[in-house]
A and B are shown apart, each in its own frame.
Chain A
Amino acid sequence: MTFTSPVLSYALLSPVLILLGGALIGVLVEAFVSKALRPVVQLTLSLGTLMLALMQVWRIRGEESLTPAMGSLVIDGPAVLIQGSILIIAIISIFLIADTEHFTPLPAALPGSAEEREAEQAGNQVTEVYPLTLFAVSGMMIFPIATDLIMLFVALEVLSLPLYLMAGLSRRRRLASQESALKYFLLGSFASAFFLFGAAYLYGFSGSITFSGIQAAVVGGTGNDVLLLIGMSFLSIGLLFKVGAVPFHSWTPDVYQGAPTPITAFMAAATKVAAFGAMLRIYYTVFANAEWSWIPVISAIAIISMVLGSLVAIAQRDVKRMLAYSSIAHAGFLLSGIIALNKSGLDATIFYLFAYGIATVGGFAVVTLVRDSSGEVTDLNRWKGLGKRSPFAASAFALFLLAFAGIPLTSGFIGKFSIFSAAYENGATAVVITGVLSSAIAAFFYIRVIVLMFFTDAVEDGTAVEVPSILTRATVVISAVITLVLGIYPAPVLDFITDLAIFIR
């Protein structure tokens, strides 16, 4: 038996390698740096790692390779765009994560126990959250560039496991936080099992675990479509679970609500980008020739996601749950980009992912600011009159809501417009009509919140807006600026995406 040593293109893989290296150093920092220094060191390290990775992604833009790692990974235009989006979102999220107010001082202690109080008095901080974030980001970076099923599964787990942990780290309402983490873990494992099962069927169908092998089998046909269909369905379930599409969405509201808000922001934005990045690659290349079988089904899922997400969001009284349902609806909008299955659909989906991710981080960043003495206030009734008390926070939140609603002059409008027109080109009229109608329903509840903030008299119940720390302020301002610029002058970004976004196979 002979082994051939693997040939790796280090330059093309450098963003991922930098992230993994940064995460490992982060673990060492936990072990060897003194408690007082850790927060600063970890923040600097994470930020530096992410920036460096982003720089590397910028440098490899325009390069293409099918074999940066022996055919398990691929680097092409969409890969660079998705990776860049994930990194930018991670960078502005890390500013939020740096606000330790949100995290429990001692995750291992029972809620309300003496140990917890001691740790709190000692000023402990869970700086482990930084390396965990970096690990999650590396998983997210690999997910959309994986080109075989094993790599895809490994990436899925690498991105998921840290998130399960991070969801349970909340300082306030710790039981709810731990409950949500456990739910996320259990349901996530359930979905992973489907995913793995689907991968097995696909191997059975094609005799290959690589995307190109499966694709060849789809094109050529092996005479056993049952295996393909079951495999495709199960694989899709794993992916649809990650993006929170109906009916695999049920974890979303509970986890979004329970997790510490900075984690929710990061998870909601970055996971969606990564998972849709992988979906784009799989549906646009591997399954493209079997589109007669999956387009109707994915269309149905898109429609019910849009409708259910928009309808249920109306009935929410909690701002984080409302945003969770809105993200379900947005998963539906994004699926219409998958259905489009053409070049403009690819461009539009990537643009939409970036725009939506940025607005999501910004929106949750504002949520972290509205607090009373016992932590964040997420009850919408207590957001009344926020516009008078804090014009900064309220106007920024209003802007993000308008972007979610797709009102012109925000990034959301350009995103919705382009993604729906792409889906329309491919004849997905029903999806587009439902999309426009549910956007109208959705606009209703977004605007209701704006009315609540600006035109309702405040109740005096101690709800106050924190004076934003410089880091949080940076998150809000950067997100707001990007959201506006992409709405007013999106042409350069759209052109950039159009030039780069071509899958190689």
Chain B
Amino acid sequence: MFISNTLVYLIALPLAGAAILLLGGRRTNKWGHLLATAMSASSFGVGLYQLMLMLDRPTEQRPASQKLFEWIHVGEFKVDAGLLLDQLSICFVLLITGVGTLIHIYSISYMSHDKDRRRFFAYLNLFIASMLLLVLGDSYLNLYVGWEGVGLASYLLIGFWNQKPAYATASKKAFVMNRVGDMGLSFAIMIAFATMGTVSFVGVQEQVSQTSEAALTAIGLMLLVAAAGKSAQFPLQAWLGDAMAGPTPVSALIHAATMVTAGVYLITRSNFVFDAAPTAQLVVVIVGAITLMFGALIGTAKDDIKKALAASTMSQIGYMTLAAGLGPVGYAFAIMHLLTHGFFKAGMFLGAGSVMHGMNDEVNMRKYGALRKFMPITFVTFGLGYLAILGIPPFAGFYSKDLIIETAFDAGGAKGIILGITTLIGASITAFYMTRVMILTFTGTKRWDEDAHPHESPWLMWLPMAILAIGSVSSGYLLSRGDALENWLYPLFDHSDEYQKHLIEPIIVSGMALTMVAIGVAVAYFKYARQEVSSTAPEDVSIFTKVARQDLMQDRFNEAVFMRPGQALTTTLIAADQAVVDGAVRGVGQVALSSGSALRGLQNGYVRSYAAIILVGAIALIAAIWVVVS
């Protein structure tokens, strides 16, 4: 493997930015945001440079590694902190730093009135650094450090406006649900270490053939739990909607383009584990399919523009997870959709931020309408993202989503038909709710509040949107032309026995997909463009809408499945406790607390009691030795 010693700069630059801004305090207020942006941009520069170097090397020499330092060397357990940049991680590096830099630029203007702008940029840089560590770590343990880092940065950024209690609660919810996922990752690492004795990617890959399928399935499922927590996949999806409490650039960066895709990264990075554990792979597909429908359905009923986009993100990541669960041929398509999605979804989030900027931070789409004339640039860039997510040729989503639908059908048999139809219906619903967003926001009549004076955003804000829009238009074509991305990633994913011929001709799949999309668009058009939209949400709606407005009862589900049984269990235990042995059976914490208090009684403050304790202890000690000896 090629040894490089410049990889560390990718991470070090944004990390230094964060450190300077956080430690420098108010002194850096004036130029902090510029420094942070420059750091992110230079990291992108380093990324491009690394890409050039990579292209210069022959295929088998492309992955580069750098050993940073010996981290933990205790007995048999040795982990070094090292970085690995291969064909997969370079995609992420460029996405993270590229989109990240654009969002830094956007935020300069978006956050210009916030008195804590410097702190915001420090957290953004911290996030970029952690995310880069996540994708560059050469072992699961190094990945875990970055994984926790992005969790922390995300928590800080969602709760950035923590003066509002609801926002603080939202960040706490994201934090807790992410912990569940993190438990999964730590279990996966522990099982991997216990069965294979190594936690590095290379080591695990080598050991896979000698490991039992049961262990691999366990590792795979635990990795999936981790992925579900970070990527808001079923059943750990509930936090993403609430996470929209953070500033909009955060939603664009973390909750659309980068962090939420970490789960997909984890699954594709662990492809060798999943390839050898078909059961785990099947569960991945199922989780992806459920989430893509789940997110799409929630998206149809949301009036909050950011929450509608969040539901859409959830659904699109469902597509990626599904593709990643389809084995070697799906990995590349999952990554392709991830990249195109990074462009168009980040662009749309920034567009939403721009709309909110012009509308006094109003997020309710029922209070928008007819903004096309007042925000032409936002309309056009958002519109291009819209065409991309729908999958209209030749926009980006057409290439990536169609490939996933094709692959789903190619899975064969009943599985292929179920998955194929699910992805098609998902595409149709996506078309419906995205058209709804477009119509409610940009066309129709004005339903504004009286004091709204919409205006186009300053250039610092629309420029990043425009650049992302170019990506929404062209990235799909560029990545799939001549199977560019597939060939690029080819050495990493072993698809020797793939490349069977398609079960259904691609052109027919595209035709079906476009028909489904057209149906979705038409329904939305007749429902929202041809009828008057009320500025308040109607109450006399069908039960489905009501359920969808409640996020398909995900919070109720969590309450019913985890909280209530937990509480019921506690209640039962307490009842049993009172009925059976008084004070014998209580929750662990309760026992600990009460025994703690009881033992505290020994600490009565009298020196004579203490001396007595020592004397008794001494006698006990000698007695114990006596027992041991005889």
A residues apposed to B, CB below 8 Å = 182-183, 186-187, 190-191, 194, 225, 229-230, 232-234, 236-237, 241, 246-248, 250-251, 253-254, 292-294, 296-297, 300-301, 308, 311-316, 344, 348, 408-409, 414, 417-418, 421-422, 425, 441, 444, 455, 488-491, 494-495
Instruction: Kindly list chain A residues whose C-beta atoms are within 8 Å of the C-beta of B610.
Output: 183, 187, 250-251
CB-based contact A187/B72 at 8 Å: no
A190 to B608, CA, bound (A): 11
A234 to B628, CA, bound (A): 16
Instruction: Considering the complex, give the chain B residue whose CB is closest to the CB of A300.
Output: B624
A418 to B72, CA, bound (A): 9
A38 to B202, CA, bound (A): 63
Instruction: Kindly list chain B residues whose C-beta atoms are within 8 Å of the C-beta of A409.
Output: 145
Min C-beta distance of A339 to chain B, whole Å: 14
A316 to B628, CA, bound (A): 35
Judge whether B613 is part of the interface by a CB distance below 8 angstroms: yes
A314-B592, A344-B74, A418-B74 as given contacts; A248 in contact with B69, CB under 8 Å: no
Show 25 A/B contacts (Cβ-Cβ < 8 Å), sorted by A. A229-B629, A232-B625, A236-B621, A237-B614, A241-B614, A248-B614, A250-B602, A250-B609, A293-B628, A293-B629, A294-B625, A297-B621, A311-B596, A311-B599, A314-B593, A315-B599, A315-B600, A344-B75, A417-B72, A417-B74, A425-B75, A441-B592, A488-B71, A490-B72, A491-B73
Judge whether B31 is part of the interface by a CB distance below 8 angstroms: no
Instruction: Kindly list chain A residues whose C-beta atoms are within 8 Å of the C-beta of B592.
Output: 311, 314, 441, 444
CB-based contact B625/A247 at 8 Å: no
Instruction: Considering the complex, give the chain B residue whose CB is closest to the CB of A418.
Output: B74
Complex interface bits, B588-610 against A, C-beta within 8 A gives 1, otherwise 0: 01001101110110110101011
Instruction: Kindly list chain B residues whose C-beta atoms are within 8 Å of the C-beta of A183.
Output: 607, 610
> Which of A254, A314, A494 lies in contact with B596, CB distance below 8 A?
A314
Min C-beta distance of B625 to chain A, whole Å: 5
Instruction: Considering the complex, give the chain B residue whose CB is closest to the CB of A254.
Output: B605
A308-B599, A312-B600 as given contacts; A229 in contact with B72, CB under 8 Å: no
A253 to B601, CA, bound (A): 13
Instruction: Kindly list chain B residues whose C-beta atoms are within 8 Å of the C-beta of A316.
Output: 600
Judge whether B626 is part of the interface by a CB distance below 8 angstroms: yes
Min C-beta distance of A415 to chain B, whole Å: 10
CB-based contact B596/A312 at 8 Å: yes
Judge whether B505 is part of the interface by a CB distance below 8 angstroms: no
A187 to B71, CA, bound (A): 43
Give residues 158-177 of B contacting A (CB, 8 Å): 172
Instruction: Kindly list chain B residues whose C-beta atoms are within 8 Å of the C-beta of A248.
Output: 614, 617
A316 to B610, CA, bound (A): 19
> Which of A229, A417, A489 lies in contact with B625, CB distance below 8 A?
A229
A425 to B75, CA, bound (A): 9
A247 to B612, CA, bound (A): 10
CB-based contact A421/B77 at 8 Å: yes
A425 to B599, CA, bound (A): 32
> Which of B74, B605, B622 lies in contact with A494, CB distance below 8 A?
B74
Judge whether B70 is part of the interface by a CB distance below 8 angstroms: yes
Min C-beta distance of A48 to chain B, whole Å: 31
CB-based contact B69/A422 at 8 Å: no
> Which of A190, A311, A490 lies in contact with B595, CB distance below 8 A?
A311
CB-based contact B595/A250 at 8 Å: no
Give residues 67-114 of B contacting A (CB, 8 Å): 69-75, 77
Interface of A is mostly: helix
Min C-beta distance of B624 to chain A, whole Å: 5
Min C-beta distance of A238 to chain B, whole Å: 10
CB-based contact B607/A247 at 8 Å: no
Instruction: Kindly list chain B residues whose C-beta atoms are within 8 Å of the C-beta of A441.
Output: 592
How big is the B interface, by class? Answer: 35 or more
CB-based contact B626/A229 at 8 Å: yes
A250-B603, A250-B614 as given contacts; A237 in contact with B621, CB under 8 Å: yes
Min C-beta distance of A343 to chain B, whole Å: 10
Q: From B172, B592, B613, B621, name the one whose CB has the most chain A CB atoms within 10 angstroms.
A: B621
Instruction: Considering the complex, give the chain A residue whose CB is closest to the CB of B605.
Output: A254
Instruction: Kindly list chain B residues whose C-beta atoms are within 8 Å of the C-beta of A247.
Output: 613-614, 616-617, 620
Instruction: Considering the complex, give the chain B residue whose CB is closest to the CB of A246.
Output: B617
CB-based contact B599/A233 at 8 Å: no
A314 to B618, CA, bound (A): 27
Instruction: Kindly list chain B residues whose C-beta atoms are within 8 Å of the C-beta of A182.
Output: 607
Judge whether B611 is part of the interface by a CB distance below 8 angstroms: yes
A183-B610, A297-B628 as given contacts; A253 in contact with B603, CB under 8 Å: yes
A183 to B72, CA, bound (A): 43
A293 to B622, CA, bound (A): 11
Instruction: Kindly list chain B residues whose C-beta atoms are within 8 Å of the C-beta of A490.
Output: 71-72
CB-based contact B622/A315 at 8 Å: no
A187-B607, A247-B617, A315-B597 as given contacts; A297 in contact with B625, CB under 8 Å: yes
Q: From A225, A409, A491, name the one whose CB has the most chain B CB atoms within 10 angstroms.
A: A491
Min C-beta distance of A489 to chain B, whole Å: 6
A490 to B81, CA, bound (A): 12
Give residues 9-48 of B contacting A (CB, 8 Å): none
Cβ-closest 4 pairs across A and B: A247-B617, A315-B596, A491-B70, A250-B610
Instruction: Kindly list chain A residues whose C-beta atoms are within 8 Å of the C-beta of B629.
Output: 225, 229, 293
Min C-beta distance of A338 to chain B, whole Å: 15
Instruction: Kindly list chain A residues whose C-beta atoms are within 8 Å of the C-beta of B597.
Output: 315
Min C-beta distance of B26 to chain A, whole Å: 13
Give residues 114-133 of B contacting A (CB, 8 Å): none
A233-B625, A297-B621 as given contacts; A421 in contact with B75, CB under 8 Å: yes
Seed contacts A296-B624, A491-B72; 12 additional CB < 8 Å A-B pairs: A187-B611, A190-B614, A233-B625, A254-B605, A297-B621, A311-B592, A315-B600, A408-B145, A414-B74, A421-B74, A425-B75, A490-B72
Instruction: Kindly list chain A residues whose C-beta atoms are within 8 Å of the C-beta of B145.
Output: 408-409
A258 to B486, CA, bound (A): 69
Min C-beta distance of B251 to chain A, whole Å: 23
Min C-beta distance of B137 to chain A, whole Å: 14
Min C-beta distance of B607 to chain A, whole Å: 5
A425 to B613, CA, bound (A): 33
A194 to B616, CA, bound (A): 13
A301 to B628, CA, bound (A): 14
A97 to B16, CA, bound (A): 35
A187-B607, A296-B628, A414-B74 as given contacts; A315 in contact with B593, CB under 8 Å: yes
Instruction: Kindly list chain B residues whose C-beta atoms are within 8 Å of the C-beta of A421.
Output: 74-75, 77
A230 to B597, CA, bound (A): 34
CB-based contact B614/A187 at 8 Å: yes
Instruction: Kindly list chain A residues whose C-beta atoms are within 8 Å of the C-beta of B599.
Output: 308, 311-312, 315
Instruction: Considering the complex, give the chain A residue whose CB is closest to the CB of B612.
Output: A250
Instruction: Considering the complex, give the chain B residue whose CB is closest to the CB of A421.
Output: B75
Q: From A191, A314, A344, A455, name the one whose CB has the most chain B CB atoms within 10 angstroms.
A: A314
Instruction: Kindly list chain A residues whose C-beta atoms are within 8 Å of the C-beta of B621.
Output: 233, 236-237, 297, 301
CB-based contact B622/A229 at 8 Å: yes
A495 to B69, CA, bound (A): 13
Instruction: Kindly list chain A residues whose C-beta atoms are within 8 Å of the C-beta of B75.
Output: 344, 418, 421-422, 425
Instruction: Kindly list chain B residues whose C-beta atoms are within 8 Å of the C-beta of A344.
Output: 74-75
A414-B74, A418-B74, A441-B592 as given contacts; A489 in contact with B617, CB under 8 Å: no
